[in-house]
Chains A and B, each alone.
Chain A
Amino acid sequence: NAGVTQTPKFRVLKTGQSMTLLCAQDMNHEYMYWYRQDPGMGLRLIHYSVGEGTTAKGEVPDGYNVSRLKKQNFLLGLESAAPSQTSVYFCASTLQEGPEAFFGQGTRLTVV
């Protein structure tokens, strides 16, 4: 049972480049989330999804887009990367009724 898998684990981008982070879960969870973690800031919610074909904005959505075409996958896109998007990105998933959210191993992204 793989749980929540994030791809890639590390990436370096140049300013202005684009990329997509993939989150895949094999637990048949309805809810999926993307967070970014910066020192001293905790985890901040970027976007989330409550089911296939749905997405919604979180606390810090600007500069990111998401898609949930399949229930098991939640994609996070950066169209034009900026140094301010250097961060560790975590994906999480949960059932609608909980009880807990499971996290992926994280993606460390550096934008130079």
Chain B
Amino acid sequence: ELKVEQNPLFLSMQEGKNYTIYCNYSTTSDRLYWYRQDPGKSLESLFVLLSNGAVKQEGRLMASLDTKARLSTLHITAAVHDLSATYFCAVDRDDKIIFGKGTRLHILP
């Protein structure tokens, strides 16, 4: 059974700092997703990672995938308040997309 674990589940950080969110999963995957969710809103796709060593960057966010370690990271560079949200990783395997519990990110001015 596919399990997806994120850590930390909650992160409070200062503007301007760097930090990394980790996503571990228990079996091989077809693709890995990162989503952002603002309070009361739906999910917004950030990245889709398909292969080992894949790295994608958008603004202050960078995602990477290590399929051998079954690990993906979402790195935040020089955080700004607008990045405050909940971030989810999700793994696609055997036609199912399974989500982690999410990381609630709070960026302090």
A contact residues vs B (CB 8 Å cutoff): 31, 33, 35, 40-45, 48, 50, 56, 58-59, 90, 92, 94, 98-106
B99→A98 contact, CB < 8 A: no
Interface size on B, residues (CB 8 A): 20
Say whether B98 faces chain A, with CB atoms less than 8 Å apart. Answer: yes
- Known contacts A101-B33, A103-B43, A56 near B99 by CB under 8 Å: no
Q: Is B97 an interface residue (CB 8 A)?
A: yes
Chain A residue with minimal CB distance to B10?
A: A40
In the bound complex, CA of A45 to CA of B92 (Å): 12
- Per-residue A-contact encoding for B41-74, CB less than 8 Å = 1, 0 else: 1110100101000000000000000000000000
Interface residues of B (CB under 8 A from A): 9, 31, 33, 41-43, 45, 48, 50, 88, 90, 92, 95-102
A-B contact pairs, 24 of them (CB 8 A): A41-B101, A42-B88, A42-B100, A43-B43, A43-B88, A43-B99, A44-B99, A45-B96, A45-B97, A45-B98, A45-B99, A58-B96, A59-B98, A90-B43, A92-B43, A92-B97, A94-B97, A99-B31, A99-B48, A100-B45, A101-B45, A102-B45, A103-B42, A106-B42
Contact of A50 among B33, B88, B95, B102 (CB under 8 A): B95
